[in-house]
Structure 1
Amino acid sequence: MGERYFKKSFRSFNTRQHQTIDLIAVLSREPHSIKKLCVLFEIPRSSFHYRLKHRGVTKPERALLRQKVVDIHSRSRGSAGARTISGQLNQAGESVGRYKAASLMKEVGIVSKQPNKHKYKISEDVSKIAPNRLNRQFDVEAVNQVWCGDVTYGVPGVQH
Structure 2
Amino acid sequence: MAAVGGVGGSVPVTQLTVEQLGHVRQTTEREIEMLMTKIGELNVAHQKLTASRECATFMGESSTPQPVLVPLTTSIYVPGVIQNPSELMVDVGTGYFISKNPADAASYFSRRMAMMKEQLDKAYGVLNQKRQLFEAVSHLLQNKLEMAQAAQAQAGAQPSG
Specify if TM > 0.5: no
Larger relative strand fraction = 2
TM-score normalised to the size of structure 2? 0.23
**Which of these two proteins has the greater Rg computed from alpha carbons?**
1
TM-score normalised to the size of structure 1? 0.23
Which of 1 and 2 has higher RCO (CA within 8 Å, sep 6+)?
Answer: 2
Larger relative helix fraction = 2
